[in-house]
Structure 1
Amino acid sequence: MVADASNARIFATVEDDAGLTEVIYFSRPHDKHGTKKKSMNTDRMQDQAVDYFAGVIAHALRAGLESRQFDRIVLVAPQNFLDRLNLHLDSRVFDVVVGEVPHDLVNLSAKALLERLNRSLPDHVVMGGS
């Protein structure tokens, strides 16, 4: 799972395939009536929207685990969003987290993401059938 405060992409690997396949894409709606002036109320609303989005992703991960769509997961997100996401994850999901990469990689292609993960993750976490 690779995400930032606005977008999330969930990828799958297949044993016989050396790549990643994107299976789910989420995008957080943004306020179309934005203004350049920010108030404390606007900041609070933005913070709540990001928190809600983290909860949506956590729910999707829990549902995927419960339906046995995966048996392990790597979380990739900027540290501040990763921290927020971790607040929403339940213990069952935490039990299958095999790695965290605290970087904003949401816009990388699947191939570039796989290469970056294989450089960033410990040796015991093998991605994409490698």
Structure 2
Amino acid sequence: MPNTWILVADAARARLFESLRRGAEPVEIACYYYPDGRSPGRHLEHGRLPRTQESNSPSRHAIEPKTSLRDKHAQRFAETLGAVVRQGRREGRYDRLVLVAPPRFLGALHDSLDEATAACIVGEVRRELMTLSPAELRAHLPR
């Protein structure tokens, strides 16, 4: 019987569950917390996004696309979680992966996964379910 990992996450917290057999209640095997994921979404020291000063010369310079601080933190946390599930796949700790996250963070998770790990995904739930107990979570998972 294939082993399944269930990653339940949002931009600041994540819980990793393992389900050893179909219909069984998932068992929590790890918990992650990223306090910067709860940031207000702007640079605290200035209260607004940084600005660039234009020059008087005809030369132009590239600037970084506008990405909020909150989105940057979410991407960093997603990359951390991506590394965790990649390592678990390499070690053979699971065969199938289920992702549970709000739609925006789910996109960040997808961006952080390599091709081989993404191929292990057998289901997704696009909802915020961080606070549910394992039994309640089981009711929301795909069959």
Q: Kindly report which structure 2 residues correspond to 1:41-120, keeping only aligned pairs within 5 A, or say none.
A: 44-117=68-141
2:48 alignment counterpart: 39
Against the structure 1 CA distance between its residues 31 and 76, is the aligned structure 2 distance closer, same or farther, given a 3 Å change threshold?
closer
Q: Which consecutive segments of 4 or more residues in structure 1 shift more than 4 A? A: 31-35
Q: How many residues align?
A: 117
Show structure 2 runs of 5+ residues with no match.
1-6, 51-66
Identity of paired residues, percent? 31
Question: Over residues 9-58 of structure 1, what are the superposed CA-to-partner deviations in whole Å (9 max), with x where a residue is unaligned?
Answer: 110012387211000111102389976x95225x7333221110000000
More helix by share: 1
Alignment RMSD (CA, Å):
2.5
Kindly indicate whether structure 1 or structure 2 has the higher relative contact order, using CA contacts under 8 Å at least 6 residues apart: 1
Say which SS state the counterpart of residue 35 (structure 2) adopts: coil
- Describe the shift of the 1:79–1:68 C-alpha distance in structure 2 as closer, same or farther (beyond 3 A): same
Consecutive unaligned residues of structure 1, counting only runs of 5 or more, are 126-130
**TM-score when normalising by structure 1:** 0.80
TM (norm. structure 2) is 0.73
User: Structure 1 pair 53/32, CA: closer, same or farther in 2 (3 Å)?
Assistant: closer
Give the greater-gyration-radius structure (CA): 2
